[in-house]
Amino acid sequence: MLSVQNIEKYYGNKNNVTKALNRISFDVEPGEFLAIMGASGSGKTTLLNCISTIDTISSGQILLDGINIADLSESELAKFRRERLGFVFQDFNLLDTLTIEENIGLALSLNHSDANKVQQQVQEIAQKLGIADILEKFPYQVSGGQKQRAACARAMIAGQSLLLADEPTGALDSKASKNLLEIMTAINQDLDATILMVTHDAYSASYAKRVLFLKDGKVFSKLMRGNRPRSVFYHEILDVLATLGGDISDVI
Amino acid sequence: MTLFKLSLRNAKRQASDYLIYFVTIVLAAALLYSFNGLVFSEELQTLASSMSQLPFMIWLASAVVVCVFGWLVSYSIKFMLLRRSRELGNYLLIGLENRQIARLFFLENLAVGGCALVLGILLGSLLYQAFRAIILTLFGLPYHFSFGFSFSAVGLSIIYFALIYLFALRKSRKRIRKMKIYDLIYFDKQNEGVVIQTEKKRQKIFAFSIVLGVVGTLMLITRNLLWGTIGAGCLILFLYGFFLSFASGVPAFFNRKPSRKYRGQNLLIFRTLTAKLATMGVLMATISMIFTATLISEGSGLVFKGLFQGRSMQQTCFDLYIGINDKQQDFNLYLDYINANIPMELSLLYPVYSNKNAQVMEYIDSTIVYYTYGYDKDPLMRYSDYAALREIAGYPAAELKQGQYLIHCISYLEEPLKNYTEPIIVDGKTLTLSSVHTEHFFQNYVAGNGRGYILVVPDDAINECLIHHQAYAAKTIYPVSQEQFAALNAINQSEDRVASFDIVSSKANIEAELASMTTITVFPLYYLALALTMTAATILTIQQLSESQHYRRQFQLLQKLGMDQREMRKALRTQFTIYYTMPAIPPVLIGIPFLLTLAKAPEPGVMVGANSPAAITVMALGIFFLIYAIYILMAYTSLKRNVLPETIE
């Protein structure tokens, strides 16, 4: 479904070039739950921004369902984002002035969906994510975990095919994190959503089916979960992180 | 870093973050200084006797202006305090005391105010030169640029500014001393609740406020002081009731009709506007009130200007005009003085007669509103006198054949009199109408050339008609000086003439009076209007611009969620239009009927042409929206630049 081919991303001017992404290639299959790990500055957020069409790449190509996103115009990109991609951010990125229901419904509103059905659709998804009772509230009135679930609901309500999550548990406590990751797993398994999650937290990554490790803008290592239990997979991830060295060990 | 340095740094940031506020404060200082310059200018006050009232009028206006600017500064400072609550919370968090923060904030604002005052005085001295030029031009005097400071004006400006700032800063000091860390840090996350909770109450208040608005406007246009004051009170209640109930009604409306909410960009626009519901409702009402006052002062200024102009135009056709009501009095006292002191080019002493019937007057009464008091019969004039007067006034000759008469009237009466087809009868002779003339002809006094109109008939037509009064008109070689005019007036007021109510009028004197009346009424009213518009527009704008951080985050997120640039621009524009249009609607609805009736108040025939009620209303609206548009444009360009994310390459 997603094919990243030899992408490179440079920052800076002629004299001082920083390579944020260095010849990265990988594929994501439909229905997959992929985690990308790496220390701060390893290029994982840059990679996610490039895939989400918020940032541009210097060379290589990114194909989503066979479409090269570099070929799309500004307004086509906007359309592509609102129809195909769902976003979950570390700091929730809900609008303070909108209620939870409106924040979720916003995605449909932007897609010019039938306005009469918005409320019903929001209700349905909120039921699934267990936030139906807080729909009337404003973001500052609910907990971080609830906010992040609302963000998940917004990311999938318009039928987006790829959910991009940037450190979704970064601002949550361990209980809320676990809850959110279980919900994401359920979305992945029951609703067949494809998820690409960037994280530096081994515990979060252990919920994925496959983990890519980035170091200095390159793919350093890969790990498949297969049929192993999550706890085993978690330890394997920790082992890879240990070999990855550097500052990543400071953050886990 | 010392607190003082931090204050200075914050002051610099404040000036750039709230540039529009800073610019307005500078303009406020400039306005205060330049008008104080008028107060202390001896040159201007000696231009005419009535100009000595100018300082009093400006003081009166300044008192209101200082209050208005005081409110602006106080509101803006309170607003900045709230906006920066997180920053202030951090100061508290790192261990600064409330007292120290209050001092920090005081110093910061003192620096901003001081800078604004200095810049304002510099700008104000230029503005003062502009005012001086306008006033001298009004008096028909040459203007020479002469740059100079008036220390008294500087002193008074400093006093005004100190009053404005000290009031605002005292309030903010109290506020800071009571602040708590938690409130500060979590302040900007919160939305305000609906002010009027229940639907029924809201509907009642809404309906009641609309009624109050209509009643208030009707009372205002009765032109009765008591009713007008009650009307103004009703209108204030109307504005607050209307905006608060309206603002509370919007969320309720969308909650009832969720599908409307999710259509197009409604959701974003309505939520952005209602996020700070209570503040917004009060703000909109206050701004609306200020706009109403602005529109009324601007319009009144125009009405006064039009009134003075309209009244004096009639009187400036002759360099010198004297009318004696009392037929018993003789003209010799005047003529002796004139012949000895005022060199003449042309002059004429002539009688104005009364016809034996009032057929034209009755016709006028039946077709149009006009009061011909002082006459009970139609006034008449001999053609030879009329022809000579036209020459004195510098008008082209008007022909009159035997058996005909012509009418000379004010332009207000032209239409009905043109349609007057009946022949008139003078001393048994029948005359038909040949033409109607409307040049200014000194026709607005009883002792003028008829009141409103006069019938000009062939010389031999008048045989037995009585003389109504005598008049004298002249074209002088030099304009009649103030001394000469005073001497003629002294004759008029000498003891033996008290009962005669003569009219002595010189063109030079009328023009000077016009100039000084215009100056002492129009200048203070415009001063007020300008200060009010600036204040209201600034407050609207800083409120809007200070939200730009919030808007930027919102649009960045929306961009990620796939809203395209065109739609974002459209949403921003709509939001902006609603925000700036709402408070301007009630003032327009109140202002138009008020100005139309006010401009109709003077006697008929004065407010015509460019001074007609419709023209004055249009002009007042034009000036108002021009100043408003400048602020809107500044705010929009700045907002668009700051808020909309750049396009992705």
Q: Which residues of A touch B186 (CB under 8 A)?
A: 140
Q: Which residues of B touch A138 (CB under 8 A)?
A: 191
Distance from CA of B561 to the nearest CA of A (A): 5
- For chains A and B, CB pairs below 8 A equal 92
Q: From A98, which residue of chain B is nearest by alpha-carbon distance?
A: B271
Q: How many CB atoms lie within 10 A of CB B564?
A: 21
Q: Which residues of B touch A136 (CB under 8 A)?
A: none
Distance from CA of B629 to the nearest CA of A (A): 28
Q: From B551, which residue of chain A is nearest by alpha-carbon distance?
A: A95
Cβ contact, residue pair B271, A79, below 8 Å = no
| A73: region left, alpha or beta (phi > 0 left; psi from -120 to 50 alpha) | beta
Cβ contact, residue pair B564, A74, below 8 Å = yes
Q: Worst-scoring range by mean pLDDT, B12-26, B146-160, B338-352? A: B12-26
ipTM reported for the complex, 2 dp: 0.81
Rounded Cα–Cα distance for residues B211 and B215 (Å): 6
**Residue with structure tokens 């297969």?**
A226
Contact assessment for residue A204 and residue A8, using Cβ atoms and an 8 Å cutoff: no
Average model confidence (pLDDT) for chain B? Answer: 84
Residue B464 sits at φ, ψ, to 5 deg, of -110, -5
Task: Express each pLDDT in A34-48 by its tens digit.
Answer: 999 988 778 888 888
Q: From B273, which residue of chain A is nearest by alpha-carbon distance?
A: A97
Find the domain containing A96 and state its range: 2-251
Is B255 in CB contact (< 8 Å) with chain A? no
Cβ contact, residue pair B258, A119, below 8 Å = yes
Coil, helix or strand at residue A73: coil
Q: From A78, which residue of chain B is nearest by alpha-carbon distance?
A: B562
Cβ contact, residue pair B259, A115, below 8 Å = yes
Distance from CA of A98 to the nearest CA of B (A): 6
Task: Express each pLDDT in B223-232 by its tens digit.
Answer: 788 888 899 8
Average model confidence (pLDDT) for chain A? Answer: 86
Cβ contact, residue pair B191, A87, below 8 Å = no
Task: Express each pLDDT in B602-634 by its tens digit.
Answer: 777 777 778 888 999 999 999 889 888 888 888
Nearest to A82 among B190, B262, B562 (CB): B562
Which of A48, A51, A96 to mutate to probe the B interface, most B CBs <10 Å? A96
Is B250 in CB contact (< 8 Å) with chain A? no
Rounded Cα–Cα distance for residues B363 and B284 (Å): 52
Residue B484 Cα distances to B227, B266, B320, B399, B476, angstroms: 45, 73, 11, 35, 12
> Does the pLDDT of residue B370 top 70, yes or no?
yes
Nearest to A97 among B260, B271, B560 (CB): B271
> Does the pLDDT of residue A249 top 50, yes or no?
no
Burial A211-235 (b: 16+ CB within 10 A, else e): bbbbbebebbeebebeeeeeeebbe
> Does the pLDDT of residue A248 top 60, yes or no?
no
Cβ contact, residue pair A106, B261, below 8 Å = no
> Does the pLDDT of residue B528 top 80, yes or no?
yes
Distance from CA of A243 to the nearest CA of B (A): 35
Cβ contact, residue pair B565, A87, below 8 Å = no
Which of A9, A79, A85, A98 to mutate to probe the B interface, most B CBs <10 Å? A98
Q: From A51, which residue of chain B is nearest by alpha-carbon distance?
A: B560
Q: Which residues of A touch B561 (CB under 8 A)?
A: 81-82, 87, 106-107, 110, 154
Mean pLDDT in residue range B102-115? 86
Q: Report CA torsion sign: A132, A138, A139, A142.
A: negative
* List of residues 6+ apart from A143 with CB closer than 8 A: A176
Cβ contact, residue pair A80, B562, below 8 Å = yes
Cβ contact, residue pair A78, B263, below 8 Å = no
Q: How many CB atoms lie within 10 A of CB B235?
A: 25
Cβ contact, residue pair A118, B558, below 8 Å = no
Q: From A56, which residue of chain B is nearest by alpha-carbon distance?
A: B649
**Per-residue confidence at B103, pLDDT binned at 50, 70, 90?**
confident
Residue A37 Cα distances to A6, A164, B183, angstroms: 18, 14, 38
The secondary structure of residue A139, as a DSSP letter, is: G
Cβ contact, residue pair A115, B262, below 8 Å = yes
Q: What residues of chain A have any CB closer than 8 angstroms to a CB in chain B?
A: 52-56, 74-75, 77-83, 85, 87, 93, 95-98, 102, 105-113, 115-116, 118-119, 138-140, 154
Is B560 in CB contact (< 8 Å) with chain A? yes
Which of B256, B263, B560 to mutate to probe the A interface, most A CBs <10 Å? B560
> Does the pLDDT of residue B380 top 90, yes or no?
yes
Burial B413-452 (b: 16+ CB within 10 A, else e): bbebbeebeeebebeebebebeebbbebbbbbbbbbbbbb
Coil, helix or strand at residue B552: helix
Task: Express each pLDDT in A65-111 by its tens digit.
Answer: 888 888 888 888 888 888 888 888 888 888 888 889 989 988 888 88
Q: pLDDT at position B648, please?
A: 44
Q: From B563, which residue of chain A is nearest by alpha-carbon distance?
A: A78
Q: Which residues of A touch B557 (CB under 8 A)?
A: 93, 95
Mean pLDDT in residue range B304-332? 82
Q: From A119, which residue of chain B is nearest by alpha-carbon distance?
A: B258
**Per-residue confidence at B599, pLDDT binned at 50, 70, 90?**
confident
Percent of chain B exceeding pLDDT 90 equals 22
The secondary structure of residue A30, as a DSSP letter, is: T
Cβ contact, residue pair A53, B648, below 8 Å = yes
Q: pLDDT at position B463, please?
A: 87
Q: pLDDT at position B317, please?
A: 87
Output the pTM of the full model.
Answer: 0.76
Percent of chain A exceeding pLDDT 70 equals 96
Q: pLDDT at position B330, please?
A: 73
CATH number at residue A166: 3.40.50.300
Rounded Cα–Cα distance for residues A174 and A180 (Å): 10
Tokens of B325: 């009501």
> Does the pLDDT of residue A251 top 60, yes or no?
no
Task: Express each pLDDT in B387-418 by its tens digit.
Answer: 999 999 999 999 888 899 999 998 888 888 98
Strands (E), B463-538: 466-476, 503-506
Q: pLDDT at position A242, please?
A: 85
Counting Cβ atoms within 10 Å, is residue A18 exposed (0-12), middle (13-18) or buried (19+)? exposed
Distance from CA of B238 to the nearest CA of A (A): 28
Coil, helix or strand at residue A219: strand
Q: In what order do the strands lie in the sheet with B429-437?
A: B424-426, B429-437, B404-409, B453-457, B379-382, B344-354, B466-476, B320-324, B503-506
Which of B255, B271, B273 to mutate to probe the A interface, most A CBs <10 Å? B271
Q: What is the CA radius of gyration of chain B?
A: 32
Nearest to B565 among A74, A79, A93 (CB): A74
Cβ contact, residue pair B562, A102, below 8 Å = no
Contact assessment for residue B349 and residue B470, using Cβ atoms and an 8 Å cutoff: yes
Is B561 in CB contact (< 8 Å) with chain A? yes
Q: pLDDT at position A12, please?
A: 75
Q: Which residues of B touch A111 (CB under 8 A)?
A: 562
Residue B364 sits at φ, ψ, to 5 deg, of -60, -45
Q: Worst-scoring range by mean pLDDT, B39-53, B86-100, B149-163, B634-648? A: B634-648
Contact assessment for residue B238 and residue B213, using Cβ atoms and an 8 Å cutoff: yes
Q: Which of residues 171-230 of B touch A (CB under 8 A)?
A: 186, 189-191
Task: Express each pLDDT in A138-196 by its tens digit.
Answer: 888 888 889 988 998 998 888 888 899 998 888 888 888 998 899 889 888 888 889 99
**Per-residue confidence at B564, pLDDT binned at 50, 70, 90?**
confident
Number of H helices, E strands in chain B: 23, 9
Helix H, strand E, coil C: the string for B426-483 is ECCEEEEEEEEECCCCCCCCCCCCCCCEEEEECHHHCCCCEEEEEEEEEEECCCCCHH
* List of residues 6+ apart from B499 with CB closer than 8 A: B326
Q: Which residues of A touch B185 (CB under 8 A)?
A: none
Distance from CA of B264 to the nearest CA of A (A): 7
One-letter amino acid at A105 equals G
Task: Express each pLDDT in B56-66 by its tens digit.
Answer: 888 988 998 99
